[in-house]
Amino acid sequence: MSGQSTDSNLPVQPGRRRFLMAVGGVCGTVASLAAAPALAAARGPRCVSFVHTHTGETLRAVYYQDGCYQADCLAQINHLLRDFRTGDMHTIDPALLDVLFDLQSRADRDGPFEVICGYRSPATNAMLHQRSEGVAVHSMHLEGRAIDIRLGGYPTLRLASHARALGRGGVGYYASSDFVHVDTGRVRYW
């Protein structure tokens, strides 16, 4: 055999080693540059904006800052996302807010989410379930772990696609009602 061996157990030749190290370095640099905006967003403050379609109330809240969730902002969010029919409030899962923050980043929109439904009381859920088979008896809205939303001027089908691409929780697309359901339950789509 001449010069170089094809046996993978033999040491890598110096020229090949330099080449592989250079390629690895370039790939690492490109990967870190691509990840930098996502990492910066994860470390920085997280903000969500809402306009409630039934009450007209609006809110812009920096709910996560300096490495922790902000209790005062979470309380404001709990109030805005209350059951508008009964006035009942429930703690909204901060992980749901993180999903919305990431969803807004993917959609590259800074406008408010239009809220159709946040928390739903047992009485409201039972009433809606009687009216529609689409309302689950054990809805995640009852636990403050679901929200029905849209982004003004943004196609809801595209918003649903972004939510599915996140791979976190349930995503329902309701074309006839023009909204997207997202929740922090197991990953599933409808």
pLDDT at 81: 98
pTM score, two decimals? 0.76
Q: Pick the closest to residue 182 from 101, 122, 108 (CA basis).
A: 101
Which residues of the chain, if any, have pLDDT below 50? 1-12, 19-41
- Per-residue pLDDT at 83: 98
Distance CA 4, CA 61 (A): 64
Residue-wise pLDDT tens digits, 53-74 = 999 999 999 999 999 999 999 9
Class of domain 44-189: alpha beta
Residue 58 β-bridge partners: 51
Helices 156-166, 94-107: inter-axial angle, 10-degree rounding? 120
Q: Which of 9, 146, 144 is nearest to 89 (CA)?
A: 144
Cα(44)–Cα(17) distance, integer angstroms: 39
Domain ranges within the chain, ordered by starting residue: 13-42, 44-189
